[in-house]
Amino acid sequence: MKQNRLGTSGIVVSEICMGTMTFGKQADKEMSFRILDQSIDAGIDFFDTAEVYPVPPTVEEAGRTESLLGEWMKGRDRNSIILASKVAGAAHGWFNPPVRGGKAALDRVHIRQAVEGSLRRLQTDYIDLYQVHWPDHGMRPEDTLEVLDELVQEGKVRTIGISNEDSYGLMKALWASDVSGFARYDTIQNNFSVIHRRCEDELAEVCRREQVSLLPYSPLAGGVVSGKYNDGQLPEGARFSAYLKNGAPRQRRMAERFVNPKSLETTARLVEIAKEADMDVVTLATAWSKQHDYVASTIVGVSHEDQLAPIFAAADLELSDEVLKKIDEVSAELLYPMGTLLGA
């Protein structure tokens, strides 16, 4: 599998990353281990987790995913595995993280508590990529970056990244690092898929110019691009089904951004494009996500090993210019009719 560098760090990772937020909830221990084993066999060496996983967590569940990963890694060559985790942001994020008494923050005390907890659960003495899960725009970025820099200097963390941030927030953090001499964010992990292309408006250019790697998560838009919502039903066990049925207002709004008439029509058109190209639409969407010069690794997530084959089929696959043009035409017609994407 192709390997790419994370930003300007010394870390090189597989172009597909296995996300783990379903492990310990939708996927039990045995299934999680089978998914991890098959990922390794397929050439994936990059695994992403977080202190609050599985999602959505209860107080008792938070950290369970890291513990499963730590158990799975026992007896394996730690240096052959690139491990990413995240520190939860403040409780005013999109959910209230049930960690550190529900008072998660991005200050020195809480980041120290978070990283020590993750290291303990993961049964390792360092984390390759440590990320801020959600930024806190009410804090000075220097206060967060200073302690993250200390973790890098101490060898507990190899490099740092941020998640769910916008272009302004990323540039402000990079500027703060440059002025203060702190470690810079080498990665940004944001929602990016063939039906959610906002990263192309501005963030892509920031990533290119500042040499920050994008790590797209949810390349299937929460499973919408797989087509499982296109029969008009809410599939049992699916995350957006739960959000639409019983989710909090913010969760429901998030689900409605992806499960709506335009996205479902786009998915139907993408399915046809995939059929014409003789591939599964999951393969098409995964390949499309990683086929950007500013993307280092696309984060995929599954809850069952049966979902792996079409994802693995995207490894080393490059979509033709003809297929890419057809995808852009569908996006322009259904999702971005005003030409908001750069170059549109």
Dmax (CA) of the chain = 54
Least confident of 15-24, 114-123, 259-268, 305-314: 259-268
Q: What is the mean pLDDT of residues 222-243?
A: 81
Which residue ranges make up each domain of the chain?
Answer: 3-225+282-318
Check if the beta carbon of residue 157 is closer than 8 Å to that of residue 125.
Answer: no
Residues 168-215 have pLDDT tens digits of 999 999 999 999 999 999 999 999 999 999 999 899 999 999 999 999
Distance CA 163, CA 13 (A): 18
Residue 337 main-chain phi, psi, to 5 deg:
-65, -20
Taking residue 137's Cβ as centre, other Cβ atoms within 10 Å add up to: 14
Residues 57-115 have pLDDT tens digits of 888 899 999 999 999 999 899 999 999 999 998 866 556 778 888 888 999 999 999 99
Report the catalytic residues: 53
Non-local CB neighbours of 99 within 8 Å, separated by 6+ positions: 51, 52, 62, 63, 88, 114, 117
CA-angle at 111, arms to 136 and 121, nearest 5°: 125
Residue 11 main-chain phi, psi, to 5 deg:
-95, 125
Tokens 């702190």 -> residue: 182
Non-local CB neighbours of 257 within 8 Å, separated by 6+ positions: 196
Residue 160 β-bridge partners = 130, 185
CATH 3.30.1300.10 fits 3-225+282-318, yes or no: no
Residues 262-320 have pLDDT tens digits of 889 999 999 999 999 999 999 999 999 999 999 999 999 999 999 999 999 999 999 99
Confidence of residue 253 (pLDDT cuts 50, 70, 90): confident
Buried b (16+ CB within 10 A) or exposed e, 271-280: bebbeebebb
